[in-house]
Amino acid sequence: MANDKEKVLHIVMLPWLAFGHMIPNLELAKLIAGKGHRVSFVSTPRNIERLPKVSQNLATLIDFVKLPLPKVPNLPENAEATTDVPYDVVQYLKKAYDTLEEPFTHFLESSKADWLFYDFAPFWAASVASKLCIRKAFYSICTPPFLGFLGPPSVLMGHDSSYRQKPEDYIVAPPWVPFPTTVAFRYYEIMRIVDSLSSQNNSGVADTNRFGVSIQNCDIVFIRGCTEFESEWFHLLESIYQKPVLPVGQLPSTAPVGGEDNDTWRWMKGWLDKQARGSVVYVAFGSEAKPTQDEVTEIALGLEKSKLPFLWLLRVQRGPYDPDVLRLPEGFEERIKGRGVVCSSWAPQLKILEHVAVGGFLTHSGWTSVVEAVQNEKPLVLLTFLADQGINARVLEEKKMGYSVPRDERDGSFSSDSVADSLKLVVVEEKGKIYRERIKEMKDLFVNGERQDRYIDNLIHNLKSLSKC
């Protein structure tokens, strides 16, 4: 805890309305509060209610600030996070989020904050803080390779028009990356998110512009990551941003306080307890990624063909207003009865990955899921869908930490055979041993408590040294 004679900082955190963003923000808030500093965590009422509860000893230092989300056309009632809406409605969520600028300004005026940590989506937040003489940090839960691939603010904001004119420009390493790398999107990956790269999207602001303005207007950049894992990318970012870029660690997940000892976990644990050690494939694609119906069919048939036991968390809808409800192939559940289970309700991922029966993880490559897998030494089979997942997958491929299911380079299609073969390779076959061993080798880089503590101490030291406006 902070020495009584030392300055106690007050940090306001403003994450984007996606649980893949809010949870890493909350993990960082807990680490900062654990050093005796105050955090105001700003989000909407329903999101705050759905966040994991913090422990009693930190509750007095973390204040949850609820800002009601204004209504905008085409955004359903009670939709406050990306998990509540289909993909094509997310830009309306950003439009509603942008209208929080005024109420957020009112809060910040009375907050007596020393620092504002903001995400990519509220690109307007830094200018609000500047007017109030509050220092501002761009805190990215996206990885250094993703930010490095996106490039400098001048490119992101469209000031340098010689780059990124068409989707094909995103499937090669950019010229500002001075070292050899395979880090780039596949064509099908960029085409799934190409709408977000245009200012013609329904929020009126391109995601690239949000990133560019957010980076340009901050005093310092903090990134989820560690220099020992991706040093060349940190050096690149300092070079192209021309401002301090510091790691905050991989932020391994801590178990929520309460809420996991529910009926779903009890039956899952009972089923997992009956399976052989390291034999079960865990399948989950996070809170945002939703496969198409064709993809679900191939995944299901691939799991069936693999002959491996499996536990599949299948989100059949993105929120109650999603018209496309996913279905399993006819007769599938009867055929795999006893060997596999499919769950369409919430389940505690960290608990599942901790279980000794789980021997592999078929994942979308969202970084929180990656960190949780490494934390529990579970090898990765990669199947990307959205956002930064393709870039994350390239990093994991380069470092032999994960194996991507083979797909058609143009449309991203894959077969049930390729799913089955990939699972068997990573979980049981001798030639996939490298993935099982590599994930264990990487564990210390991701979950070393002393290193994580040093990162937070360094973060606070920098906040204090730069805290004068």
Q: What is the pLDDT of residues 176-193, one digit of tens each?
A: 999 999 999 999 999 999
User: What is the pLDDT confidence band of residue 17, given thresholds at 50, 70 and 90?
Assistant: very high
The single-letter DSSP state of residue 162 is T
pLDDT exceeds 70 at position 256? no
Mean pLDDT of 141-148: 96
Which residues, in sequence order, are bridge partners of residue 139? 222
Q: Which two tokens stand for residue 249?
A: 């660690």
**CATH (one of 3.30.450.20, 3.30.565.10, 3.50.50.60, 3.40.50.2000) for 10-254+448-465:** 3.40.50.2000
Which H or E run contains 363? strand 358-363
pLDDT digits (tens, 9 = 90+) for 195-252: 888 888 889 999 999 999 999 999 999 999 999 999 999 999 999 999 999 999 999 8
What phi, psi does 40 have (nearest 5°)?
A: -105, 115
Mean pLDDT of 447-466: 94
Q: Lowest mean pLDDT: which of 113-122, 157-166, 172-181?
A: 157-166
- Sign of the Cα torsion 95, 97, 103, 109 reads negative
- What pLDDT score was predicted for residue 430? 96
pLDDT exceeds 90 at position 467? no
pLDDT exceeds 60 at position 278? yes
Cα separation, 392 vs 455, whole angstroms? 22
* Burial label, 48 (beta-carbon count in 10 A; 0-12, 13-18, 19+): middle
Residues 6+ apart with CB under 8 A from 107: 42, 65, 67
- What pLDDT score was predicted for residue 4? 42
% of the chain beyond a pLDDT of 90: 86
Q: Which two tokens stand for residue 406?
A: 């083979």
pLDDT exceeds 90 at position 159? no
pLDDT digits (tens, 9 = 90+) for 62-104: 999 999 999 999 999 999 999 999 999 999 999 999 999 999 9
- What pLDDT score was predicted for residue 261? 60
Cα separation, 157 vs 142, whole angstroms? 18
Q: Could you tell me what percentage of the chain is helix, strand and coil, using 3-state DSSP and rounding each to the nearest 5?
A: 45, 15, 45
Delimit the CATH 3.40.50.2000 region(s) of the chain: 10-254+448-465, 263-446
- What pLDDT score was predicted for residue 289? 86
- Average pLDDT of the chain, as a whole number: 93
User: What is the pLDDT confidence band of residue 255, given thresholds at 50, 70 and 90?
Assistant: low
Which residues, in sequence order, are bridge partners of residue 312? 283, 342
User: What is the pLDDT confidence band of residue 468, given thresholds at 50, 70 and 90?
Assistant: low
In Å, how far from its chain's centre is CA 186? 19
With CA atoms as reference, report the closest residue to 299 among 281, 317, 287, 286.
Answer: 281
Q: Is 361 within 8 Å of 369 (Cβ atoms)?
A: yes
User: What is the pLDDT confidence band of residue 288, given thresholds at 50, 70 and 90?
Assistant: confident
pLDDT exceeds 80 at position 160? no
Question: Hey, what CATH topology would domain 263-446 get?
Answer: Rossmann fold (3.40.50)
Q: Is 188 within 8 Å of 412 (Cβ atoms)?
A: yes
Q: Is 52 within 8 Å of 41 (Cβ atoms)?
A: no
Q: Which is it for strands 380-382 and 402-404: parallel, antiparallel or unpaired? A: parallel
- What pLDDT score was predicted for residue 162? 77
pLDDT exceeds 70 at position 361? yes
DSSP E strands in 235-357: the ranges are 245-247, 280-284, 310-313, 340-343
pLDDT exceeds 70 at position 258? no
pLDDT digits (tens, 9 = 90+) for 327-351: 999 999 999 998 999 999 888 999 9
Cα separation, 291 vs 299, whole angstroms? 9
- What pLDDT score was predicted for residue 302? 97
Which H or E run contains 76? none
pLDDT exceeds 90 at position 165? no
DSSP E strands in 190-230: the ranges are 220-223
Cα separation, 83 vs 287, whole angstroms? 6
